[in-house]
Amino acid sequence: MTDALGATTTAMDVVKGRDLTGRRALVTGGYAGLGYETARALASAGAEVVIAGRDAHKLKAAVASLSEATGNPHIHGMLLDLANLASVRQFASDFQARFPKLKYLINNAGVMACPLSRTADGFEMQFGTNHLGHFLLSGLLLPVLKAGQPGRIVFLSSGGHKYSPINFDDLNFEHTEYDKWKAYGQSKTANALCALGFDRRYRDQGIRSFAVHPGVIFTDLARHLTEEDFKAFESKDGKEGQRGKLVIKTVEQGAATSVWAAIAKELRGEGGLYLEDCHAAQQVEEGVQSHGYYEYAMNPRQSDRLWRFSERLVGWKS
Ligand SMILES: NC(=O)c1ccc[n+]([C@@H]2O[C@H](COP(=O)([O-])OP(=O)(O)OC[C@H]3O[C@@H](n4cnc5c(N)ncnc54)[C@H](OP(=O)(O)O)[C@@H]3O)[C@@H](O)[C@H]2O)c1
């Protein structure tokens, strides 16, 4: 691992010198963007990697290219649609039948700023996919995580959590006018609160959980953005490698903090942290956009409240 870790560290830098042979990782959304790069780094260090996604063709192609790129034959693809809780249950059951232990669960898949739509179970798409799907998945995989402990769960949150806290009065935009950014923000706040919730409940059983802001990276996540959305990110003095005040990372850099959260020796004994640029981030005042997290995203009471709502919504109890 490199000495000075930061915004320009890549996922491959993070695994440098590490031998992850015999360790199993699961990466949701592992056939594209940050998930693919996360899987590539872990597999190149020898880990057995399961990538989970909803498109069988993309899964097959990614398994083949990951195996070829890393020389690691222990890469598997499994179907998972996080926008359908029956699929999450089926996946968890299939996974446990196939694999007795899991060490790293990287809850990476996500959808951003889509038009108002609903999951198979009727939840607002971003809250349902990004949060509820991963909440249920993590809960159902606890037996294999416990069998593989010490282990870690990584929840991909985002600086986008700053768009919104959890709206407990209307989680699903049933009465509130839909705002695609508030919905994304709520779902990413939920990811951070969920990391806190899992860490507080399962740390004593050898499972530590972290929230990660990967940075800003151009991937297919932007598939729903309009020209206006892109313009809103721009400023007149944008420099190369930057767009407005946002520093843009490469995909290789964007995957670094996820991999670091999963395997860093520096994080032994830690958990319930919000990480960015391969460091623990600081809480910042609301209004600060460039770094850090808002208080509501790592608030234990908010986390407990969301936990209770989520248990009821997905029908799983800790
Ligand atoms: N890129 C950024 O700047 C940025 C910044 C902050 C946080 N993040 C977070 O980082 C994570 C990865 O984002 P990315 O940039 O790598 O995006 P990406 O390239 O769009 O990858 C997202 C992955 O999630 C999958 N996915 C979406 N809906 C799914 C569902 N219902 N079931 C299963 N898989 C589903 C996608 O599969 P399909 O191709 O089948 O849709 C894709 O594989 C997300 O959680 C995102 O919120 C990204």
238 falls in which pLDDT band (50, 70, 90)? very low
Query: For the residues 17-27, what does the mean pLDDT come to?
Result: 98
The residue length of the chain stands at 318
CA 36–ligand 1 middle distance (angstroms): 10
CA 204–ligand 1 middle distance (angstroms): 30
Contacts of 220 (CB under 8 A, 6+ apart): 32, 33
Mean pLDDT of the chain: 95
CATH topology of domain 11-314: Rossmann fold (3.40.50)
pLDDT for the residue 246: 72
240 falls in which pLDDT band (50, 70, 90)? very low
CA 38–ligand 1 middle distance (angstroms): 12
pLDDT for the residue 244: 53
pLDDT for the residue 3: 61
C-beta 221 within 6 A of ligand 1: yes
Q: Which atom of ligand 1 is nearest to the CA of 35?
A: 16
DSSP H stretches of helix in the chain: 11-15, 33-44, 56-70, 85-98, 125-126, 134-140, 142-147, 180-202, 227-233, 251-254, 256-263, 300-314
Rounded to whole angstroms, the Cα distance separating 302 from 190 reads 9
Rounded to whole angstroms, the Cα distance separating 256 from 50 reads 18
Nearest CA-CA partner of 202 in 113, 102, 115: 102
C-beta 35 within 6 A of ligand 1: yes
- Of 34-48, 89-103, 230-244, least confident by mean pLDDT is 230-244
Contacts of 53 (CB under 8 A, 6+ apart): 28, 29, 30, 31, 32, 59, 62, 77, 79, 80, 109
Residue 1: pLDDT above 50?
no
Q: Tell me which residues are annotated as active site.
A: 184
Residue 310: pLDDT above 90?
yes
Instruction: Give the amino acid at 105.
Output: L
Sign of CA dihedral 3, 6, 7, 11: positive
Rounded to whole angstroms, the Cα distance separating 7 from 254 reads 8
233 falls in which pLDDT band (50, 70, 90)? confident
125-138 pLDDT, tens digit each: 999 999 999 999 99
pLDDT for the residue 230: 85
141-196 pLDDT, tens digit each: 999 999 999 999 999 999 999 999 999 999 999 999 999 999 999 999 999 999 99
Q: At what angle do helices 56-70 and 33-44 cross, to 10 degrees?
A: 40
pLDDT for the residue 179: 98
CA 28–ligand 1 middle distance (angstroms): 9
Radius of gyration of the chain from Cα atoms? 18
107-127 pLDDT, tens digit each: 999 999 999 999 999 999 999
CA 48–ligand 1 middle distance (angstroms): 21
Sign of CA dihedral 188, 234, 180, 171: positive
What is the phi/psi pair of residue 197, to 5°?
Answer: -65, -45
Q: Which residues pair with 276 in a beta bridge?
A: 213, 279
252-272 pLDDT, tens digit each: 999 999 999 999 999 999 999
Answer whether 183's CB lies under 8 Å from 144's CB.
no
Rounded to whole angstroms, the Cα distance separating 177 from 249 reads 33
Q: Which atom of ligand 1 is nearest to the CA of 212?
A: 7
pLDDT for the residue 257: 98
C-beta 212 within 6 A of ligand 1: no
Answer whether 254's CB lies under 8 Å from 275's CB.
no
Answer whether 191's CB lies under 8 Å from 155's CB.
yes
Rounded to whole angstroms, the Cα distance separating 71 from 89 reads 32
DSSP string computed for 239-255: PTTEETTEEEEPHHHHT
C-beta 121 within 6 A of ligand 1: no
C-beta 186 within 6 A of ligand 1: no
Rounded to whole angstroms, the Cα distance separating 298 from 300 reads 6
User: Which of 27, 31, 34, 156, when mutated, tests ligand 1's pocket best, judged by the most ligand atoms within 8 Å of its CB?
Assistant: 34
237 falls in which pLDDT band (50, 70, 90)? very low
Residue 243: pLDDT above 60?
no
